């Protein structure tokens, strides 16, 4: 582009800065100073950075409101770093790498780390929030109406400003005009005549008080639900904005013993930090628990629970067979069709190509459901068309064959497309040369076409394998893992690890995210190893043929 040693580069170099590496950065910086600033480039920069700043400011408000200071710090640092990077003229490689890296962190690294950290907890239904949340839930769900107590028409009022003033309850004794005023101090009767009682018993006005309308009252929702007026039998609480009832919190948390006591039965549940629940002496647990760290127990459960480790190996083998069968089958079929259409003697190839791509153009989600119905024993198209009475999804091997068949149908157009592209990139001279040398068509295919195809398609095959290895929809929308052995409802013949995990995590008692995360990590490890090995082999192959 220009002579590397001209320009201000060396002269402006700060003294004493990395004497060893002066050579190469200097060269590149000089070159950059010559890069022209175009209006379009500047506009793009302004717009993109403006968006970054906009998103950052937009994201900052909720973070401040929720007092998430760590998140805010990360946000500020990231934004500052982006501005520093793109407003300056240095660090050209970083300018190219940072966007991708940021997305990689946001969409790959963070979810993986989050999954990994979840795997060490009991996060799931009944254990979602903190201990404080659980205590609040236990106490508020234990508030019961005092037996035989009456409910009162209620108005919410204040002596001060409707938006800020301290609130009181104005309640009317049903059937009378007797009005009492209640606050945290208790209930006092109001002078007769001081309040106007409307139809239905609600106080509409009272001397010295401003009665809040629904709009004003609902803006003070939290204050109203928090207002508890102590009475002899319990306490008056609001039930909505127009009724009050006398209720009593039967269960209360006591910090001294770190336990929940039931005042009716006298039973005590003590906090157990290991399981994240309040547990009574007889082993009874309160349903509302909290999230705790459970160490490796989710992982050991995978290995020691017979229901899980028993069928794990069989599922793993089928999972490999399914992924290899789907990928290999679609590849062979797609490639054969591509080869056939690649032949110069073929006529009407465009029409064929269009027709062949159709399955690829249809939403696989819907097609899977259609296929499921076509395999129905009594009403399905396949049995009716061929006069069969095969219980497709009811037997191990027919169900397996069926799901692979469906995958084949769904997947071959893709392989056909990519193989067509790759075939067109192989120079015809090469195959012509083999025929000149006297090679048969098969030999020419084996020795020239296939290896060159594989070089181009191996990465796609590997990603297709990884995708099919975790192809949840293919199973869940067709067989749902069926058929299941009569004595084991948790693991069916066509279950992949991912559908099996899904059932373990969500199908049983309740959502068990911690446990599901642990199994996901196992699957992640398996797929990662398979992919790493395959990529290594591909690279060796590329070295041979490149």
Partner 1 sequence: MRIRTAGVVALFALALAASGCGGDSDEPAAKDTPKAAGGKLVIWADDKRTAALKPFTEKFGQENGVTVEVQAVPNEDLQNNFVTVSSQGGGPDVVIGAHDWIGNLVQNGAIDPVQLSDEQKAAFNETAVKAVTFNGQLYGVPYAQENLALIRNTELAPEAPKTIEDLVATGKQLKAQKKVTETLCLQVGQKGDAYHIYPLYTSAGGYLFGTTANGDYDPKDLGVGKPESIAAFKKIAALGEKGEGVLKRSIADTNSTATFTGKKCAFLVSGPWATADVKKAGIKYDVSAVPGFAGGKTAAPFVGVQSFYVAAKGKNKALAQEFVANYVTTPDLAVALYQADPRPPALTAALDQVKSSDPDLAKFIEAGKNGQVLPAIPAMAAIWDPFGKAEAAVIGGADPTSTVTAAGKTIAGSIK
State the CB neighbour count (10 A cutoff) for residue 90: 12
Say if CB 187 and CB 143 are below 8 A apart: no
Q: Which of 213, 263, 309, 440 binds partner 1 (CB under 8 A)?
A: 213
| Binding residues among 432-491 for partner 1 as defined by CB under 8 A | 479-490
Query: What angle do helix axes 450-469 and 396-425 make, rounded to 10 degrees?
Result: 140
Residue with tokens 């004497």: 19
Q: Residue 121's beta-bridge partner residues?
A: 293
| Binding residues among 486-545 for partner 1 as defined by CB under 8 A | 486-490, 503, 507-511
Q: Is the dihedral of CA 500, 502, 508, 514 positive or negative?
A: positive
What values do phi and psi take at 293, rounded to 5?
-80, 130
- Closest distance of CB 133 from partner 1, Å: 6
- Looking at beta carbons only, is 403 or 462 nearer to partner 1? 403
Q: Token pair of 193, please?
A: 């005549």
Q: Which of 7, 63, 194, 243 binds partner 1 (CB under 8 A)?
A: 243
Q: Which of 115, 141, 196, 268 binds partner 1 (CB under 8 A)?
A: 141
Go through 357-382 and write b for each residue having 16 or more CB atoms within 10 A of its CB, e for each that does not. Answer: eebeeeebeeebeebbebbeeeebeb
Query: What angle do helix axes 450-469 and 513-545 make, rounded to 10 degrees?
Result: 180
- Closest distance of CB 239 from partner 1, Å: 4
- Looking at beta carbons only, is 61 or 442 nearer to partner 1? 61
Residue 413 touches partner 1, criterion: CB under 8 A: no
Residue 8 touches partner 1, criterion: CB under 8 A: no
Q: Residue 197's beta-bridge partner residues?
A: 203
Residue 145 touches partner 1, criterion: CB under 8 A: yes
Those residues with Cβ within 8 angstroms of residue 157's Cβ, 6 or more apart along the chain or in another chain: 167, 168, 169, 170, 181, 203, 206, 209, 210, 211, 212
Say if CB 234 and CB 244 are below 8 A apart: no
Which residue, among 493, 513, 498, has the nearest Cα to 467 in the 3D structure?
A: 498
What separation in angstroms does the CA of 52 have from each of 38, 49, 76, 525? Answer: 21, 5, 11, 35
Residue 242 touches partner 1, criterion: CB under 8 A: yes
Q: Which of 17, 222, 345, 347 binds partner 1 (CB under 8 A)?
A: 222
Q: Which of 133, 183, 262, 272 binds partner 1 (CB under 8 A)?
A: 133
- Closest distance of CB 278 from partner 1, Å: 12
Rounded CA separation 112/133 (Å): 27
Those residues with Cβ within 8 angstroms of residue 336's Cβ, 6 or more apart along the chain or in another chain: none
- Looking at beta carbons only, is 478 or 520 nearer to partner 1? 478
322: left (phi over 0), alpha (psi -120 to 50) or beta: alpha
- Closest distance of CB 276 from partner 1, Å: 12
Torsion, Cα 285 290 292 298, to 10 degrees, reads 70
Q: Where are the beta strands (DSSP E) in 250-368?
A: 251-254, 259-262, 268-272, 277-280
- Looking at beta carbons only, is 66 or 525 nearer to partner 1? 66
- Looking at beta carbons only, is 449 or 512 nearer to partner 1? 512
Alpha-helical runs (H) found in 213-305? 214-219, 221-226, 297-304
- Closest distance of CB 536 from partner 1, Å: 40
- Closest distance of CB 291 from partner 1, Å: 9
- Closest distance of CB 129 from partner 1, Å: 5
Residue 33 touches partner 1, criterion: CB under 8 A: no
| Binding residues among 37-76 for partner 1 as defined by CB under 8 A | 37, 42, 45-47, 49-58, 61-62, 65
Q: Which of 120, 245, 278, 318 binds partner 1 (CB under 8 A)?
A: 245
| Binding residues among 276-295 for partner 1 as defined by CB under 8 A | 285, 287-289
- Looking at beta carbons only, is 62 or 427 nearer to partner 1? 62
| Binding residues among 352-381 for partner 1 as defined by CB under 8 A | 373, 376-380
Per-residue binder mask for partner 1 (CB under 8 A), 84-123, x = binder: ---x------------------------------------
- Closest distance of CB 15 from partner 1, Å: 24
Per-residue binder mask for partner 1 (CB under 8 A), 293-322, x = binder: --------------x---------------
Residues in contact with partner 1, counted by CB under 8 A, come to a total of 88
Residue 271 touches partner 1, criterion: CB under 8 A: no
Per-residue binder mask for partner 1 (CB under 8 A), 160-189, x = binder: ---x--------------------------
Among 68-76, 182-190, 237-245, 434-442, the segment contacting partner 1 (CB under 8 A): 237-245
């Amino acid at each position: 582009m220009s002579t590397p040693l001209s320009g201000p580069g060396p002269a402006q170099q700060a003294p004493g800065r990395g004497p060893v590496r002066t050579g190469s950065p200097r060269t590149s910086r000089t070159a950059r100073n010559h890069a022209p600033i175009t209006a379009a480039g500047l506009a793009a920069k302004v717009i993109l950075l403006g968006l970054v700043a906009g998103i950052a400011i937009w994201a900052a408000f909720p973070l401040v409101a929720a007092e998430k200071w760590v998140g805010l710090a990360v946000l500020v640092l990231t934004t500052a770093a982006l501005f520093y990077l793109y407003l300056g003229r240095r660090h050209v490689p970083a300018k190219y790498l940072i966007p991708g890296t940021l997305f990689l962190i946001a969409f790959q690294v963070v979810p993986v780390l989050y999954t990994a950290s979840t795997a060490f907890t009991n996060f799931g239904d009944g254990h979602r929030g903190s201990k404080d949340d659980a205590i609040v839930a236990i106490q508020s769900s234990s508030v019961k109406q005092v037996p035989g107590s009456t409910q009162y028409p209620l108005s919410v009022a204040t002596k001060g400003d409707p938006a800020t003033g301290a609130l009181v309850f104005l309640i009317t004794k049903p059937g009378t005009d007797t009005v009492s005023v209640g606050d945290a101090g208790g209930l006092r009767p109001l002078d007769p005549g001081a309040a106007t009682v409307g139809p239905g018993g609600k106080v509409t006005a009272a001397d010295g008080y401003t009665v809040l309308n629904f709009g004003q009252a609902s803006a003070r929702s939290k204050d109203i639900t928090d207002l508890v007026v102590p009475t002899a039998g319990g306490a008056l609480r609001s039930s909505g904005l127009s009724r009050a009832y006398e209720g009593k919190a039967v269960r209360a948390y006591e910090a001294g013993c770190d336990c929940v006591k039931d005042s009716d039965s006298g039973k005590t549940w003590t906090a157990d930090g290991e399981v994240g629940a309040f547990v009574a002496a007889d082993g009874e647990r309160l349903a509302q628990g909290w999230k705790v760290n459970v160490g490796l127990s989710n992982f050991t459960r995978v290995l020691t629970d017979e229901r899980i480790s028993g069928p794990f190996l069989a599922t793993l083998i089928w999972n490999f067979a399914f992924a290899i069968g789907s990928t290999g089958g679609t590849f062979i079929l797609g490639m054969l069709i591509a080869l056939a259409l690649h032949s110069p003697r073929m006529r009407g190839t465009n029409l064929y190509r269009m027709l062949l791509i159709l399955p690829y153009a249809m939403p696989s989600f819907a097609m899977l459901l259609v296929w499921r119905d076509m395999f129905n024993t009594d009403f399905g198209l396949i049995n009716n068309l061929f006069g069969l009475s095969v219980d497709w999804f009811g037997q191990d091997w027919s169900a397996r064959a069926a799901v692979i068949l469906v995958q084949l149908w769904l997947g071959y157009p893709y392989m056909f497309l990519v193989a067509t592209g790759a075939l067109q990139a192989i120079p015809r001279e090469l195959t012509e040369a083999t025929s000149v040398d006297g090679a048969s068509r098969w030999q020419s295919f084996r020795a020239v076409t296939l290896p060159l195809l594989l070089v181009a398609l191996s990465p796609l095959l590997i990603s297709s394998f990884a995708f099919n290895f975790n192809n949840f929809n293919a199973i869940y929308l067709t067989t749902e893992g069926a058929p299941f052995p009569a004595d084991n409802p948790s693991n069916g013949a066509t279950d992949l690890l991912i559908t099996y995990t899904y059932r373990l995590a969500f199908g049983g008692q309740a959502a068990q995210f911690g446990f599901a995360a642990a199994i996901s990590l196992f699957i992640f490890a398996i797929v990662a190893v398979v992919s790493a090995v395959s990529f290594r082999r591909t690279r060796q192959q590329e070295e041979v043929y490149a």
